[in-house]
Amino acid sequence: MSEETANTNVRGNDAVASLAGGTELIREKLQTMPGCPGVYRMIGGRGKVLYIGKARNLKKRVAAYSNPGRLPVRLQRMVAETRDMEIVTTHTEVEALLLEANLIKTLKPHFNILLRDDKSFADILIATDHDFPQILKHRGARKRKGYYYGPFASAGAVNRTITALQRAFLLRNCSDSVFASRTRPCLQYQIKRCSAPCVDRVDEADYVALVRQAHAFLTGKNHAVQEDLARQMQQASEALEYERAAALRDRIKALTLIQSHEDINPAGIGDTDVIALAQEGGQSCVQVFFFRDGRNHGNRAYFPSHDRNDPPADIMSAFIGQFYDGRPAPRRILVSDDPAQSQLLAEALAINAGHRVTIRRPQRGRLCKPVQRAMVNARSALARRMSESASQRRLLEGLARTLDLDAAPERIEVYDNSHIQGDSAVGAMIVAGPEGLHKAAYRKFNIRASGDRVAGDDYAMMREVLGRRFSRALKEDPDRERGSWPDLVIIDGGPGQLSAAQATLDELGIDDVEMLAIAKGPDRNAGRERLHRPGRRTFLLEPKDPVLYFLQRLRDEAHRFAIGTHRARRGKALTASPLDEIPGVGARRKRALLQHFGSARAVAQAGLSDLEAVVGISAMVARKIYGHFHDER
């Protein structure tokens, strides 16, 4: 028997033993498994969660995993990796479904269908906690008092709509502090986007009327608003008030502009999300269109991670459950494919939303058109994604040939530092792979001050960043099972930076990560970059080589991320207050101190009795503040 055949047999025997071990563990757990609703977790080595599932009857559901011969290969692999199981019982299956969606989003198990891009959506808010309400873009929890309109698919759509609404209804967008400090109209008034309530160019009653009109328009009563404005314009014209008539005409034009961007507004669609699923080559795209009050708020494409053999019903069910976890669902959801257990899913969404939710796949009639439109967009987005993935794969294969790597890298990490003479120094790491840039994996490092390091020492900074990154990787994923280890590390710099990076990895005992440094060419000309590899001669690529363009894009993205992080840290340092460093002095006490003394410097110079006189500052806190500035023990 050859050595290769022997090794294959050993691996096969290990797999069988591992599958038998996982099956035996599940059978042991079944002996005490309750027959009630709940959520179960399959756990692998080092506590890694492999799979999360829910069940009406936990004992019956988990029993299916105790017969591996009836399972598909993917689930057999999961059972083989299982080292433990945990369960959480619930009162109902609906509660189990809600908990399952929440845990999947939080823990991201490898064997579940995952919604990978789950960014928050922006809303339009008309804040009513002021006599003259403000219109603004809002993200996050809806805690501030006011009217919320959304969600919108993109921040750009929100910004364009707010600009058009300002032209139409002349609502202010300035903050309350700016509003209170104005003595004359700002530029927004001059360009006819605000009625200048800050300087009494409009009284409160008229401004409230504008707010009511905006609210009516945003809740679907746009025709009534336009008719009212047209009537007012006609009256002003007949009364020879031509300037007022022209202003009303401009507001009607702004309203028309908003509606012209809403290219598909089926009659009677109301509050609806349209979700369409397209599949090809084992990949999926889910396209979501948002309609609120009959108005199209845009669309967004998602590419969930799943096994290529997962059926559309399971993908749709998993997507909807995770998508609406943490955000309210509209009253109606139109789908291209019926999700698994759609009635149960609708009940769970209704609990979160606080109103009845229906999930429906229209077969005919007027509601078929938006689903068909969403399906066309889903197919188009998936085709673009697959084309981009193919191009990206070709670039990675070309990079492997250029650098003489064993295989195309699956994960590339690019590092850069940014500082001004060592001040506010930061390190940045970006990640790229077969699907392009992986922004969720980006990391930033606030470089710590060191007494033995010269300010602006790029080599020491690079050693610190890589040391922290790979020390943590060795601690959290020593067996490299989670896909968090890079196949290639790229450094923005020359031989010095490369030597510092290589020395850092050598100290940690890491000798199997490929490295590359990209040095800018003479006069920093793009296209003349020099490439440095450990133990090899420096080389250049042809100026029109696609691999060179690819490396330039990666380096520029790392530079952009590093610069942005540095600017944010420097800006935060410029606005920092000495009061921030005092334990026990939060935002409210800090505000009270500044209002009483006028500045942080005056607080630092104040006596103990003066500090005790401030409203909200107790004698103990006053002593703490005094001691902070006077080193009192």
CATH of residue 601: 1.10.150.20
Between 510 and 259, the more confident residue is 510
Q: How many angstroms separate the CA atoms of 542 and 540, rounded?
A: 7
Q: Locate 162 and state its tokens.
A: 């707010």
Query: Does residue 456 lie within any of the structural domains?
Result: yes
Cis amide bond preceding 151, omega within 30: yes
Query: Does residue 154 lie within any of the structural domains?
Result: yes
Give residue 606's pLDDT.
86
Give residue 3's pLDDT.
43
**What does the pLDDT look like over 49-79, one tens digit per residue?**
999 999 999 999 999 999 988 888 889 999 9
The conformation of residue 110, written as its DSSP 8-state character, comes to T
42 close to 51: Cβ distance less than 8 angstroms:
yes
Q: How many angstroms separate the CA atoms of 328 and 306, rounded?
A: 25
Residues 569, 582: one domain?
no
Average pLDDT of span 165-177: 87
Residues 371, 432: one domain?
no
Q: How many angstroms separate the CA atoms of 575 and 566, rounded?
A: 14
Highest mean pLDDT among 263-267, 389-393, 595-599: 389-393
Residues 190, 66: one domain?
no
Among 107, 130, 160, the domain boundary falls at: 107
Query: Does residue 114 lie within any of the structural domains?
Result: no
Q: Hey, what amino acid is at 430?
A: I
Which CATH number belongs to the domain containing residue 325 in this structure?
3.30.420.10
Residues 537, 426: one domain?
yes
**Residue in 368, 263, 361, 381 with CA at minimum distance from that of residue 312:** 361
Q: Hey, what amino acid is at 516?
A: L
327 close to 294: Cβ distance less than 8 angstroms:
no
Q: How many angstroms separate the CA atoms of 81 and 103, rounded?
A: 20
Query: Does residue 115 lie within any of the structural domains?
Result: no
Give residue 10's pLDDT.
38
Give residue 422's pLDDT.
63
- Give the side-chain half-sphere CA count within 13 A for 2: 3
Give residue 261's pLDDT.
47
Residues 463, 369: one domain?
no
Query: Does residue 395 lie within any of the structural domains?
Result: no
Q: How many angstroms separate the CA atoms of 313 and 317, rounded?
A: 6
Q: Is the pLDDT of residue 264 over 80?
A: no
**What does the pLDDT look like over 34-44, one tens digit per residue?**
999 999 999 98
Residues 420, 554: one domain?
yes
Q: Is the pLDDT of residue 17 over 70?
A: no
Residues 486, 366: one domain?
no
Q: Is the pLDDT of residue 550 over 60?
A: yes
Q: What is the share, in percent, of the chain residues with pLDDT greater than 70?
A: 90
Q: How many angstroms separate the CA atoms of 133 and 60, rounded?
A: 56
Query: Does residue 390 lie within any of the structural domains?
Result: no
Which CATH number belongs to the domain containing residue 76 in this structure?
3.40.1440.10
Among 367, 383, 399, the domain boundary falls at: 383
**What does the pLDDT look like over 570-622, one tens digit per residue?**
777 665 667 777 877 887 888 888 888 877 788 888 888 888 888 888 888 88
Give residue 409's pLDDT.
93
Give residue 330's pLDDT.
93
Q: Is the pLDDT of residue 413 over 50?
A: yes
Give residue 399's pLDDT.
94
Among 366, 383, 400, the domain boundary falls at: 383
Residue that has been written with the tokens 């692998």 in this structure: 44
- What is the residue-averaged pLDDT of the chain? 85
Q: Hey, what amino acid is at 326?
A: G
Q: What is the residue-wise DSSP string for 118-153?
A: -PPPEEEEEE-SSSS-EEEEE-S---SSEEEEEEES
Q: Hey, what amino acid is at 58?
A: L
Q: How many angstroms separate the CA atoms of 115 and 112, rounded?
A: 10
Q: Is the pLDDT of residue 447 over 60?
A: yes
Residues 82, 170: one domain?
no
Instruction: With cut-offs at 50, 70 and 90, classify the pLDDT of residue 631.
Output: low
Query: How many domains does the structure of the chain reveal?
Result: 5
Residue that has been written with the tokens 């559309």 in this structure: 312
Instruction: With cut-offs at 50, 70 and 90, classify the pLDDT of residue 272.
Output: very high
The boundaries of the domain holding residue 517 are: 412-573
Between 72 and 120, the more confident residue is 72
Which CATH number belongs to the domain containing residue 552 in this structure?
3.30.420.340
Q: Is the pLDDT of residue 359 over 80?
A: yes
Query: Does residue 400 lie within any of the structural domains?
Result: no
Q: What is the residue-wise DSSP string for 202-227?
A: S-HHHHHHHHHHHHHHHTT-HHHHHH
Q: Is the pLDDT of residue 9 over 70?
A: no
Q: How many angstroms separate the CA atoms of 50 and 99, rounded?
A: 16
Q: Is the pLDDT of residue 342 over 70?
A: yes
Residues 562, 619: one domain?
no
**Residue in 296, 377, 290, 285 with CA at minimum distance from that of residue 330:** 290
Residues 501, 524: one domain?
yes
Give residue 207's pLDDT.
93
**Residue in 257, 263, 256, 278 with CA at minimum distance from that of residue 370:** 263
Q: What is the residue-wise DSSP string for 474-524?
A: HHH-TT--SS-S-SEEEEES-HHHHHHHHHHHHHTT----EEEEEE--GGG
Average pLDDT of span 475-481: 80
Average pLDDT of span 499-519: 92
Residues 602, 561: one domain?
no
Contacts of 438 (CB under 8 A, 6+ apart): 411, 431, 432
Q: Is the pLDDT of residue 14 over 70?
A: no
Q: How many angstroms separate the CA atoms of 579 and 624, rounded?
A: 11
Using only the alpha carbons of the chain, give its radius of gyration: 30
Q: Is the pLDDT of residue 11 over 70?
A: no
**Residue in 553, 393, 562 with CA at minimum distance from that of residue 462:** 562
Q: Is the pLDDT of residue 45 over 60?
A: yes
Query: Does residue 402 lie within any of the structural domains?
Result: no
Residues 521, 535: one domain?
yes
Q: Is the pLDDT of residue 267 over 70?
A: no
**Residue in 485, 482, 501, 484 with CA at minimum distance from that of residue 493:** 501
Between 532 and 266, the more confident residue is 532
Between 576 and 500, the more confident residue is 500
Q: Hey, what amino acid is at 31?
A: Q
Q: What is the share, in percent, of the chain residues with pLDDT greater than 90?
A: 40
Q: Is the pLDDT of residue 12 over 60?
A: no
**Residue in 294, 207, 284 with CA at minimum distance from that of residue 258:** 294
Give residue 559's pLDDT.
92
Cα of 275 vs its chain's centroid, Å: 20
Contacts of 165 (CB under 8 A, 6+ apart): 124, 135, 171, 214, 217, 218, 254, 258
Q: Is the pLDDT of residue 477 over 90?
A: no
